Each structure stands twice: as structure tokens, then as C-alpha cells.
């Protein structure tokens, strides 16, 4: 089970790195990688395909990461809980000659000898 989890974590890291690369290659104003290949040249159809590819790869990689994370949660399962440890207060022993604190401290009547 650990090997499956490790494999999933490696796949998640690879997909995350690829997602960062794809996002960094895009330009927030719409140029991005497509402007490198000619900008507003007559090959406008090729530029549009580059933008579509970058957008689809972003969404696909994001979905792959989410699916891999969900699979890793299912594979690892619910963590086993250990039995709860109940802390106990230390017991105090009564000093010699005194009654324990749990007993009543009311005076005891002793019958008189006649």
C-alpha cells in the first residue's frame, strides 16, 4: 500500500510541475506562447490552436491533480485511531494519624466508662 501511495505522490508532483510550466508559458493578456510563433501574422489559425492547447492542458492537468489526490485519499483510507489515553491524577496517600480526605471529619463520640 505504501508503494501505491508513493507512486501517486510522484505522479501528483509531476503533474504539478507540468501545470506550473504551462501556466508560466501563458501570457495574462492573451499573447503567451502563441505570440512567440508569429503574433498577428497570416498564420492566425496556428496561433489560435496554440492558445487552445495551453488552455486545455491547464484544465486537464488541474483535473488530473484533483483526481490523483482523491485516489490517494481513498487508497490510504481512514487512519486507525489508537485507544485513547486517559490521564489520571496522582493519588495522594493520607499522612499517618489522619483520616483520608474521602472520609467525614465529623467528631466521633466515644461512650464513657461507668
Residue 60 pLDDT greater than 80, yes or no? yes
Sequence ranges of the domains in the chain = 1-24
Instruction: Give pLDDT tens digits for 4-51.
Output: 889 999 999 999 999 999 988 887 665 555 555 555 554 455 556 677
**Cell 465529623 identifies what position?**
106
* DSSP-based three-state secondary structure for 68: helix
Instruction: Give pLDDT tens digits for 71-97.
Output: 999 988 876 777 677 777 777 765 666
Q: What is the pLDDT of residue 84?
A: 73
CB 72 within 8 A of CB 8: yes
Q: What is the pLDDT of residue 103?
A: 56
Q: What is the pLDDT of residue 99?
A: 57
Amino acid at each position: 500500500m505504501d508503494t501505491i501511495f508513493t507512486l501517486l505522490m510522484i505522479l501528483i508532483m509531476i503533474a504539478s510541475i507540468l501545470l506550473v510550466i504551462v501556466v508560466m508559458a501563458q501570457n495574462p493578456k492573451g499573447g503567451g506562447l502563441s505570440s512567440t510563433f508569429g503574433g498577428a501574422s497570416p498564420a492566425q489559425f496556428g496561433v489560435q490552436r496554440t492558445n487552445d492547447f495551453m488552455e486545455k492542458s491547464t484544465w486537464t492537468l488541474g483535473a488530473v491533480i484533483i483526481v490523483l489526490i482523491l485516489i490517494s485519499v481513498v487508497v490510504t483510507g481512514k487512519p486507525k485511531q489508537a485507544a485513547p489515553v486517559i490521564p489520571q491524577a496522582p493519588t495522594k496517600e493520607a499522612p499517618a494519624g489522619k483520616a483520608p480526605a474521602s472520609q467525614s471529619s465529623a467528631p466521633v463520640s466515644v461512650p464513657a466508662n461507668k
